[in-house]
Amino acid sequence: MTNTTGDDIARTLGMLLLRSTRTRLHAHLTEGLEEAVDDLTYPVLSGLARTGPRSAADLGREVGLDRTTVSRRADRLERSGLLARHPDPDDSRATLLTLTDDGHAIVAVTRQRLADAIEDSLATWPQGDAATFARLLRRFVDQGPFAADHD
């Protein structure tokens, strides 16, 4: 069996996409923050920061959780003042989850931690290699099998 570049990339992406890999990363990013922010609630915060206000069902589809799970995690975040619920102006039966200013601040901290961890891991790479990796990764995400418009 021949090991192709596609096989190697697929195996590596598989490791990145593992739930255990994401859980470890989220635990690292949220360490020492507000008590309600942990590897379980981080996807809700991060998802809302990425998408803007969403219903629990819509956010769940975005982050890979069911509506009930999102709602339970949102309850914790709301009690801590990181998230608020507002009526959906387009659907009187629905409620939108929205980050508060404190929620946005927590997301900013976690994103900076992630950027710092990436910078640290690339510190020993030649600067040109790190820049090329960033450019090619962006291209792969934009044009590869994960692209939104990929058939």
Structure confidence by residue, pLDDT tens digits, 129-146: 999 999 999 999 899 887
Residue 149 has a pLDDT of: 72
Domain contains 39: yes
Q: Which long-range contacts (CB under 8 A, 24 or more apart) does 111-115 make?
A: 113/28, 113/29, 114/25, 114/29
Mean pLDDT of 34-38: 93
Domain contains 123: yes
Q: Within the chain, where are the H helices? A: 5-17, 19-30, 42-51, 56-63, 67-79, 101-122, 127-143
Residue 25 lies in domain: 18-141
Asked if residue 4 has pLDDT above 80, the reply is yes
Amino acid letter for position 27: A
Looking at per-residue pLDDT, the higher value among 11 and 19 belongs to: 11
Residue 71 has a pLDDT of: 96
Out of 1-5, 57-61, 77-81, which region has the weakest mean confidence (pLDDT)? 1-5
Cα–Cα dist 84/66, whole Å: 19
Domain total for the chain? Answer: 1
Residue 44 has a pLDDT of: 96
Domain contains 33: yes
Asked if residue 1 has pLDDT above 70, the reply is no
CATH of the domain at 32: 1.10.10.10
Q: Is 38 exposed, middle or buried (0-12, 13-18, 19+ CB in 10 A)?
A: middle
Residue 85 has a pLDDT of: 96
Per-residue pLDDT tens over the stretch 87-102 = 989 888 889 999 999 9
Domain contains 13: no
Looking at per-residue pLDDT, the higher value among 135 and 147 belongs to: 135
Mean pLDDT of 22-50: 93
